[in-house]
Amino acid sequence: MEKKNVIVIGASAGGFEVLKRLFSGLDEGIAAAIFIVWHIPPDVFGILPQMLSKHSKMTIANALDNEPIIFNRVYVAPPDHHMMIERGRVRLVRGPKENRFRPAIDPLFRSAAYSYGSRVIGIILSGALDDGTAGLWAIKQFGGTSIVQDPQESEVPGMPESALRSVKVDFKITVREMIEVLQRLVTEPAKLNHEPGSQQREKTSTELKIAMMEEQIGKQPMGELTPYTCPECHGVLGAIKDGDLVRFRCHTGHAFSADTLLSILGDSIEGSVWNAIRGIEECIFLLNSVGDHYAVKNDPKNAGLYFKKAKEMESRAKYLRQAIRDNEQLTKRKIEEADSTI
């Protein structure tokens, strides 16, 4: 009988120390294949396998494309590659970024759910925003088990809180409790005959092909078309609904959660305002320079006109600087917390 022996883990900010604690406690003979996505920049050498190997006797290494999946082995997503799972093998691909990350958590979780169904245990650890929430939702749809680190223990609670808001998780626990739960779960039989609806399976299959760069050329975005544009390629974004969860994907394949898109738009607003300030201040420099020119030529009337206009522009720049001070970086958590205080 098949067991729950495929463990997928997603972590970001604050996740490094959590992963060390987790692997320090896990039985080195655990009968499972374990896959980890930890957000790292593309130009940073993947140090996670070496560091985790100091805390565990399991084989821990950056994954290789097409290598076989075996038990008692930990596969780590290397920099600048999505790590995905097909039946019996690992795949690495430089597909479209999701939530501005590559590797991203959602492609790993989604592919594990599609390939191994109820055998999958998905874990969300410390991190900001909400990468992994949509993937954990897919794991639940395919009959898998969901675990989220208790946000009160998380150094950065954004990812755990997002998962708890949007997914009916099986366990919200500390890392110490997680070790005990995992070692029990891998001995339990997986649910039999648990299949999602055909529409969910087809949608997941399409998204996996997009991540693997096998589909989507010349096609409309998935979901309902929106007025938003992709921050990566400026293509139109389609809205995809997973239960109560709404996320976005463009026709070239880039994907964003609502929180990530809000964060990017907030940064874009600030950048646009700074550009406006720069333009106004350059006008001020030029107006004052021309005014100085007229003053040197003993033409106080024209000099005064240019100096006056420069002063008017200075007041506009002050308003824009105030707008930047007042600009708020919005997230779902901030909005909902603000509502609860009204």
Which DSSP letter does residue 98 get?
Answer: B
Token output for 299: 């033409």
* 68-72 CB contacts, 8 Å cutoff, 24+ apart: 69/6, 69/33, 70/33, 71/5, 71/31, 71/32, 71/33, 72/28, 72/29, 72/30, 72/31, 72/32, 72/33
Residues 6+ apart with CB under 8 A from 226: 236, 237, 238, 239, 248
Q: What is the DSSP string of 286-308?
A: HHHHHHHHHHHTT-HHHHHHHHH
The three state secondary structure string of 232-264 is CCCCEEEEEEECCEEEEEECCCCEEEHHHHHHH
Catalytic residue annotation: 12, 39, 131
Stretch (H or E) spanning 7: strand 6-11
